[in-house]
Each structure stands twice: as C-alpha cells, then as structure tokens.
Amino acid sequence: MTTPLEMQGLRGTLLHDEPMARHTTWRVGGPARWFYEPAGIGDLALFLSRLPEDEPLYWVGLGSNLLVRDGGIRGTVIMTAGALGGMTHDGVMVRAEAGVPCAKVARYCARAGLVGIEFFAGIPGTVGGALAMNAGAFGGETWPLVASVETIDRRGVRHVRQPDEYQVGYRSVSGPAGEWFIAAHFRLRNGDTQASQARIKELLEKRNRTQPTSQPSCGSVFRNPPGDHAARLIEASGLKGVCIGGACVSGKHANFIVNTGSATAAQIESLIQQVADTVERNHGVRLIREAHIIGEALPQQEVKI
C-alpha cells in the first residue's frame, strides 16, 4: 500500500492503524490499516487514482449502521463525514454531498422552505449511507426524493447517474458496480418553514421517547419483515434486556443493541446472532440484518453469523 509520504500533494488526513472505535456509533472496532479523510471531492479523486486496484476499500459516514470487528480492517477506510459536507439549493432542488448528516439536510431544507424530507431528522447517518441503503424513518424513504446522484469509481472518475440506473427496494440499493455515492440531488416541494421545523421537532421528540439515543448503538439492527416489526418479534421472544458482556438488547426499543460501556464487537455480533436465532425458533421468521458487519475477528473471538 502507498505510504503517506508517497501521497505528496494530497490534502486531507491519512492515518495508519486508526482505531475504528473512534468512528463508529457503537464505539467498538479494531484499527483500519489506512484511514483517509479527504479535504474535498478533488482530493478524494486523486487518492482513489493512486490507490492500488487490489486494495480493499470501505466507506464510512457517521459510522452508524456499522459494526467493525475487533481485529480491524485490512484495507483502506474513506471517511466522508466532515469531509464531503457541501450543501446548496436552487429552487426545489437540493444538492447534498455524501458526508452531510441526514439530520442537517432536514434542518437546512426546512429553513429554505422546502418540505418532504423532514423524516431525515430521524436517520442517524449521512447522505451517502442513506443512498446506499435507501434509509428511511417515520414512514419516509430516501430514493423517492432522488432526482440524480453523483458517484466516483476506483480510478477517481466522477459520474452522474439517474434513479432508473438503480434497483431500489426496502433498505436495499444496487446499481453500477465499482462506484460510490459522493452527492445526491433531491427534488422537494415548496412549503412552510415553521410547519416543517415543527414536524422535525415532533419527530425528534418521538425518537428520543422511543429509542435509546443516549447510549451507543448502530440504530436499528434488523430490517422489519413484511407485515411486522422486528422490535415486536424480539420483544415477544423475551429478549429485551438480554446481554452478552457489555452488549445488551435495549429495554427501550428491542431492535436496538446498545453498548453499555464495555462491549466488544464480538459480544455485539454474538448477541445479534442470538437474537436472530431466538426469533426464528419462536416465530419462524429469520430477521435480516440492517447493520453491516465488516473487518476481521480476533482469533479467540470468532463468531459465526
């Protein structure tokens, strides 16, 4: 892998063996071999153009919806949050770069008198992550608002793509291979700023009432199965409050696994497995993970899932 000294002329921050526990909302995860936070899209393109083709590459926003195993990542992590943070609007069109937190998009649009994206206030991730998984909250989903997206490939070449180039489903998106989202163009509606801000406040209050927002988690661990809710099935299986080490099923919302302060990634992964197995045994439904698991387990911590 190229060393920082060989990346001359590159702006941003490039770190070696950076602990991913600093960059995930679960507050766990071993070191990434290389960790790059670009200064902007131009530097990201330059970095990718110099990256060896066989180097494993991972993209991280706010680190929600992500479990990095304790052995870390044998590859390169690109951090978009705090880096790809541009946001502008022209009429009812809003352009937001991949590193912009979804909640910030919701507030920005409300101030601009643009409505329809208030639900973004309840998504604990970035625009890039929302695009990658068709994130949703409070009955809204990302892709119905997308007019176009900007992507970048392994060579650092940028592309503009249309929604019809992607297959979009519930918490799933697939499209052109070897490309990653760097910005979205959302088509919204003109509306009332005060009403939009009031709606955002209402949604955030509901989130705080019903979710363990004061404890480290990834957000929802499992997708809702058709016609049901993962949280209902987990609670009906008697799993609320069940712990493995410092990882516990939240007593506030059963589809959240929280780090009570001492959890390891292996303990969280074991609890995810236990929850899925128990629900399947009790209800005949195999829950599908919404949370992504990446990286290497430590030899003594290997978990099958």
Task: Give yes or no: 214 in active site.
Answer: no
Strand runs labelled E in the chain: 12-19, 31-38, 57-60, 66-68, 73-79, 87-90, 93-97, 114-115, 136-137, 140-141, 146-153, 158-161, 167-169, 172-174, 179-187, 189-190, 243-244, 247-249, 257-259, 292-294
Whether 33 contacts 75, CB under 8 Å? yes
Task: Give yes or no: 220 in active site.
Answer: yes
Nearest to 10 by CA among 72, 73, 74, 83: 83
Q: How far apart are CA 294 and CA 58, in angstroms?
A: 9
Whether 117 contacts 211, CB under 8 Å? no
Catalytic-labelled residue, pool 37, 64, 69, 171: 171
Q: How far apart are CA 97 and CA 108, in angstroms?
A: 13
The token pair at 161 is 């793509």
Catalytic-labelled residue, pool 196, 217, 220, 250: 220
Q: How far apart are CA 31 and CA 146, in angstroms?
A: 34
Task: Give yes or no: 290 in active site.
Answer: yes
Q: Which helix (H) or strand (E) holds 213?
A: none
C-alpha of 300 from chain center? 28
Residues with a known catalytic role: 171, 220, 290
